[in-house]
Amino acid sequence: MTHIRNLSDCDQLIDNPELYREVTSYLLYCHHELQMYADEDDPDSQDFNFSVLQAEDLPMLDDLGPPEEIVKIDIKMDGMVQTMYRIVYPTAVLFIPADISDKFPF
């Protein structure tokens, strides 16, 4: 599992440009939305709970309950398609490769 709490943590994903772009884009969107609605004095408002999961991390989904949102992302490039899921919970955002989606508990 790769944890992403802020923009600089996204550098862990640099080897996968498509995943890097998706995680960074959504993190920036969440950051913008948080600035619009959050208390500016809260020092934790810059920290997020994003994770990129692997197959061995999937059992944790059982403990989280039903997600608020599941988004399937298909990135087409050079005749290939990379598919991933963004799963949004009230307290976490998870990115999961589609090749392990058959193991989702929902």
d(CA 55, CA 43): 33
Give ∠ CA 30-54-24 in degrees, rounded to 5: 25
Instruction: Give residues with Cβ within 8 angstroms of 45, minimum separation 6.
Output: 34, 35, 38, 39
d(CA 29, CA 61): 24
| pLDDT at position 40 | 61
Q: What is the sign of the dihedral through the CA atoms of 14, 90, 100 and 2? A: positive
With cut-offs at 50, 70 and 90, classify the pLDDT of residue 99.
confident
Domain count, the chain: 1
Q: What is the pLDDT of residues 12-69, one digit of tens each?
A: 999 999 999 999 999 999 988 888 877 666 555 567 899 999 989 888 888 888 899 9
pTM of the model as a whole: 0.83
Structural domain containing residue 72: 2-103
